[in-house]
Amino acid sequence: MVAFECCLVPNDEAEGFKYFFRVSKKTFGYICSLVREDLISRPPSGLINIEGRLLSVEKQVAIALRRLASGESQVSVGAAFGVGQSTVSQVTWRFIEALEERAKHHLRWPDSNRMEEIKSKFEASFGLLNCCGAIDATHIIMTLPAVQTSDDWCDPENNYSMLLQGIVDHEMRFLDIVTGWPGGMTVSRLLKCTGFFKLCEGGERLNGNVRTFSGGEEIREFIVGGGGYPLLPWLLTPYETDGLSASMSTFNAVHEAARLLVVRAFSQVKGSWRILNKVMWRPDKRKLPSIILVCCLLHNIIIDCGDNLLQDVALSGHHDSGYGEQFCKQADPLGRTLREKLAKYFHHGKEKAPSK
């Protein structure tokens, strides 16, 4: 093992390849197949190496993945591949545009059959009936030209940032993401600006089969989120910590265990694709949403290809280190009722198996 990027890099060739590019050789080949047509159909003006040869699709993908994975400067990445700074810039952006278009199927809301599988996994792992995912948000720090400065983009920590909200399943796969909104917004306000919120409020999402347990109590589909989110009929947040009963404490413990999936997913995506977390690099707000989306697509592609996420590159601390926890007081009565049903269910030891 050799030290590199504050971690230990494997000497094994296959493991070293995966560490360097964050994907296995098999997954690398699949990614090349997705973008090949786009990368060869557009004139590769200036895309040559120091020896004057045109760059292959494989080398273009390698350069782009390394730039996204390491977050190192274009000069540094270019030196590793024998190309100039402008070539790294052009190659990376061409790759981002191509993958954004060709890998859409790797990030979409599940159909009913897939959702039943997700719900069964949440139940098996955490005992949560009819849970469809976990939601959270994180800040991606960026820069703004002086003429674009705005209080909206300045967040509570006085950074200019953009929010990324994600919903993940039991495997930390992103099912839905929203980005492009200013970091100065609260997560509660961000949620209400999303298409996902409008679909849920209109009964067009999280509207699958109801579960019933002892006494005829019904549990609808829902997701779990932290205290910064409102308590809604379809989004359950934890009880406030003051004066908790035994059943409330049990619910909070189960809720937090499930919610940690999305916390870990953000730590993984920001650690794997360090371009999202590098202080030295500040993207502009026009290109940043595409960069964020592609990093989330790559995260999902790794999972979908049966590749293992590299745990040792994930951020060691919280994905939003330095940002204080938000609290939202909004609580819908139907959300309160659903949360109480689940709290009672956990407190009574899940004595009777629920029916589907």
Q: How much is the average pLDDT of 276-286? A: 70
Q: How far is CA 162 from CA 89, 166, 185, 186, in A?
A: 22, 13, 9, 12
- The answer to whether residue 117 sits within a structural domain is yes
pLDDT at 40: 87
Domain identity same for 101 and 112: no
Domain identity same for 282 and 140: yes
pLDDT class for 324, splitting at 50, 70, 90? Answer: confident
Could you give the number of structural domains in the chain? 2
pLDDT at 142: 82
Give the ranges where the chain is alpha helix by DSSP (H): 13-21, 25-41, 57-70, 74-81, 85-102, 112-126, 187-192, 195-201, 246-272, 288-304, 333-347
Tokens found for residue 207: 């509207």
The residue among 61, 81, 105 that closes a domain is 105
Domain identity same for 224 and 318: yes
- The answer to whether residue 3 sits within a structural domain is no
pLDDT class for 141, splitting at 50, 70, 90? Answer: confident
* CB 163, CB 320: distance < 8 Å: no
Q: Who has greater pLDDT, 4 or 68?
A: 68
Domain identity same for 268 and 148: yes
- The answer to whether residue 29 sits within a structural domain is yes
H-helix or E-strand spanning residue 218:
strand 217-219
- Is the pLDDT at 112 greater than 50, yes or no? yes
Please give the angle made by the CA atoms of 109, 113 and 117, to the nearest 5 degrees: 90
DSSP 326: P
- The answer to whether residue 192 sits within a structural domain is yes
The residue among 82, 105, 128 that closes a domain is 105
- The answer to whether residue 65 sits within a structural domain is yes
Cα(222)–Cα(232) distance, rounded to whole angstroms?
9
**pLDDT tens per residue across span 205-257:** 999 999 998 778 899 999 999 999 999 999 999 999 888 999 999 999 999 99
Cα(300)–Cα(168) distance, rounded to whole angstroms?
10
Domain identity same for 116 and 86: no
pLDDT class for 322, splitting at 50, 70, 90? Answer: confident
Rounded to 10 degrees, the C-alpha dihedral 322/64/8/6 comes to -30
**pLDDT tens per residue across span 182-212:** 999 999 999 999 999 999 999 999 999 999 9
Q: How much is the average pLDDT of 280-307? A: 88
The residue among 90, 105, 120 that closes a domain is 105
Cα(59)–Cα(51) distance, rounded to whole angstroms?
14
Tokens found for residue 234: 């379809």
Domain identity same for 229 and 315: yes
- The answer to whether residue 21 sits within a structural domain is yes
* CB 208, CB 221: distance < 8 Å: yes
- The answer to whether residue 8 sits within a structural domain is no
CATH code (residue 50): 1.10.472
Domain identity same for 183 and 50: no
Domain identity same for 129 and 96: no
pTM of the model: 0.91
- The answer to whether residue 319 sits within a structural domain is yes
Helix (H, G, I), strand (E, B) or coil at 48: strand
Q: Which residue has the tokens 């956990």?
A: 346
Contacts of 245 (CB under 8 A, 6+ apart): none
Please give the angle made by the CA atoms of 112, 118 and 122, to the nearest 5 degrees: 140
Could you list the residue range(s) of the whole structural domain that residue 80 is in? 13-105
Domain identity same for 119 and 227: yes
Domain identity same for 177 and 92: no
DSSP 195: H
Please give the single-letter amino acid code of residue 254.
Answer: V
pLDDT at 143: 72
Tokens found for residue 182: 């200013």
* CB 171, CB 263: distance < 8 Å: no
Domain identity same for 95 and 130: no
Q: How much is the average pLDDT of 93-109? A: 97
Domain identity same for 65 and 170: no
